[in-house]
Amino acid sequence: MRAMVLEKQKQAMKLKDVDEPEPGEGQIKLHVLACGVCRTDLHIFDGDLKHPKLPLIMGHQIVGKVEKLGKNASKFKEGDRVGVPWLGYTDDTCEYCKSGRENLCDNAKFTGYDMDGGYAEKAVADERYCFPIPDGYPDMQAAPLLCAGLIGYRAYRLAGEGKRIGFYGFGSSASILVQLAVHEGHEVYAFTKEGDTESQEFAKKLGAAWAGSSKIAPPEPLHNAIVFAPVGPLMVSALRVTKKGGNIVSAGIHMSDIPAFPYDLLWGERTLKSVANLTREDGHQFLQKAPEVPIHTEVKTYQLEDANQALDDIRSGNLSGSAVLIIDKNATHE
């Protein structure tokens, strides 16, 4: 099969012919239709996440059709269209798994990091961590739901109640979650880089009540905030404009250092939180809600061999919405 292979971090992936994977016990083999390109992939490529399996096939927003069942795999049948997210395996035995916090599993494995992912024509996955794709979502539009959507949804849940919610950084996750938040009655305040009027207009088009620079205060103080951008100082910026009792949630797997700040910004029962991975319940809830809104994902498509360019576009910020690789030329779009 064809695959984009990362042999060494910080060096461009190479298009190679490699052996097709075969499903093990409890796994399914997928014919990959599309795979989203995520900022986490960029963190892996750039070496911010330091211990990937190498060589590695990245990609953890996989949409594919079940081609073969491994031993004792029974959740799906051949031909089913399923999605594969970042969290790809848990042990079911550690204290976190036993207490319903499988996202914190001590022995978790991650798709496109500890095991090969979807920048390839075939992939295998633990059937426990695959989700049916909602009807009505073309392959390309479904792919970003599987990480940008799911991790964004977990951050949104942890942010809690409160009418006014701030989104710092308006990339793939924010563009999806703004639609759900507005649907559920929130006012979304979108914060972008200074001068990024294109992202600000995009946010307002998707329903944001206000959009502006992260360096200025919104017209009303926030009840809660989610920081999607991997920029530590934005956690402090959000604290400064959030009311007492508010939650500021970091939605990223990697972030630059959070600078020191005076205690009076935190006082008043404000909290700083981080999101780690997802649970299967997050996935089921979000993928049920997505068609109800309905959430529309705006995507820019790339051929498999152009995966390096997709990462470059995410790095530079020259992208509205989500990047998705076309793996199968017959994959559906719009």
pLDDT of residue 270: 98
Backbone dihedral angles phi then psi of residue 301, each to the nearest 5 degrees: -100, 150
The size of the chain, in residues, is: 334
pLDDT in tens, 116-128: 999 999 999 999 9
Q: What is the DSSP string of 74-94?
A: -SS-TT-EEEE-SEEE--S-S
Question: Can you tell me the distance from the alpha carbon of 92 to that of 94, in angstroms, rounded to the nearest whole number?
Answer: 6
Residue 3 has pLDDT above 90, yes or no: yes
Return the pLDDT at 199.
Answer: 94
Question: Phi, psi (5° rounding) for residue 193?
Answer: -60, 150
The domain segmentation of the chain, as residue ranges, is 2-146+298-326, 150-274
CB 140 within 8 Å of CB 81: no
Secondary structure letter of residue 58 according to DSSP: -
Please list the helix, strand and coil fractions of the chain in percent, rounded to the nearest 5, in that order: 30, 25, 45
| Topology classification of domain 2-146+298-326 | Quinone Oxidoreductase; Chain A, domain 1 (3.90.180)
Exposure of 226 in the CB half-sphere (CA atoms within 13 A):
31
Residues 6+ apart with CB under 8 A from 306: 325
Structure confidence by residue, pLDDT tens digits, 39-64 = 999 999 999 999 999 999 999 999 99
As a whole number of angstroms, the distance between CA 28 and CA 11 comes to 30
Each residue of 65-110: pLDDT tens digit?
999 999 999 999 999 999 999 999 999 999 999 999 999 999 999 9
Tens-place pLDDT, residues 158-203: 999 999 999 999 999 999 999 999 999 999 999 999 999 999 999 9
Banded pLDDT at 218 (limits 50, 70, 90): very high
DSSP conformation letters of 122-138: EEEEEGGG-EEPPTT--
- The confidence band for 328, taking pLDDT boundaries of 50, 70 and 90, is very high
Query: Per-residue pLDDT for 334 more than 90?
Result: no
- The yes-or-no verdict on residue 22 having pLDDT over 90 is yes
- Which of 70, 64, 39 lies closest to 120 in space, CA to CA? 64
Six-digit token pair at 119?
A: 């920048």
pLDDT tier at 293, thresholds 50, 70, 90: very high
Q: Quote the percentage of the chain above a pLDDT of 70.
A: 100
- N-term to C-term CA, the chain: 27
Q: Taking residues 122-145, report their average pLDDT.
A: 97
User: What value does the mean pLDDT take over residues 213-219?
Assistant: 97
pLDDT for res 305: 98
DSSP code of 113? Answer: T
Q: Give the pair of three-digit tokens for residue 239.
A: 């604290």
CA 82-117-312 angle, to 5 degrees, is 115
44 phi-psi bin (left φ>0, alpha ψ -120 to 50, beta other): alpha
Q: What is the pLDDT of residue 302?
A: 98
What number is the average pLDDT over the span 277-291? 96
Q: How confident is the model at residue 319 (pLDDT cuts 50, 70, 90)?
A: confident
Cα 296 from Cα 142, distance rounded (Å)? 9
Q: Domain 150-274 falls in which CATH fold?
A: Rossmann fold (3.40.50)
Assess whether pLDDT exceeds 90 at residue 317. Answer: no
Q: Are the beta carbons of 242 and 225 closer than 8 angstroms? A: yes
Long-range contacts (CB closer than 8 Å, 24 or more residues apart) made by 232-236: 232/256, 232/257, 232/258, 232/259, 233/258, 233/259, 234/168, 234/169, 234/191, 235/272, 236/261, 236/265
Q: Give dist(CA 25, CA 70) in Å, integer.
A: 5
Confidence grade of residue 318 (pLDDT, cut at 50, 70, 90): confident
Overall average pLDDT of the 244-272 stretch: 97
User: Which amino acid belongs to residue 24?
Assistant: G
Mean pLDDT of the chain: 97
